[in-house]
């Protein structure tokens, strides 16, 4: 399905814990522990959130030795941004058409 990646991306961003992780990762790569440390939950819980972010494609990671380094994928951020932006633009385009129609209609009152 074409949209299921949008599903997962928006769902990933719907949680404050996961947005906090994104917020951290836009400053640069981080390990699993670094991401989990500030969070008010157990490490396994944090890893589940991380898994949601990875499944959405917003975050990628690679393991070297015993440490896994995570980084954000800005392309996925753009994907979500673009969907919203395009819909807002459609809405604006409709308003423009409506305005033009009204201008035409009320010529020489």
Partner DNA sequence: CTTATTGTCAAGCGTTTACTTAAGTATTTT
Partner DNA sequence: AAAATACTTAAGTAAACGCTTGACAATAAG
- Report the interface residues with DNA, using CB under 7 A: 11, 15, 17, 31-33, 40-45, 47-49, 52, 63-68
The angle at the Cα of 5, spanning 67 to 69, to the nearest 5 degrees, equals: 10
Return the number of the residue (11 or 43) whose C-beta is nearest a copy of itself.
11
Q: How many C-alpha atoms does 32 have within 13 Å on its Cβ side?
A: 18
Return the number of the residue (54 or 66) whose C-beta is nearest a copy of itself.
54
In the complex, minimum distance from the CB of residue 63 to DNA, in angstroms, rounded to a whole number: 5
Residue 53 contacts residue 21 (beta carbons within 8 Å): yes
In the complex, minimum distance from the CB of residue 51 to a copy of itself, in angstroms, rounded to a whole number: 16
* 40 near a copy of itself, rule: CB under 8 A: no
From CA 72, how far away is CA 53, in angstroms rounded?
Answer: 9
């Amino acid at each position: 399905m074409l949209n299921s990646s949008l599903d997962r991306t928006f769902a990933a961003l719907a949680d404050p814990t996961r947005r906090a992780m994104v917020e951290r990762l836009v400053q640069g790569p981080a390990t699993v522990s670094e991401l989990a440390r500030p969070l008010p939950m157990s490490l396994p819980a944090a890893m589940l959130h991380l898994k949601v972010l990875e499944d959405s494609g917003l975050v990628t990671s690679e393991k070297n030795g015993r440490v896994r380094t995570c980084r954000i994928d800005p392309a996925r951020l753009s994907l979500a941004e673009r969907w919203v932006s395009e819909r807002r633009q459609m809405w604006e385009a409709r308003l423009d058409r409506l305005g033009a129609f009204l201008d035409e209609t009320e010529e020489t009152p």
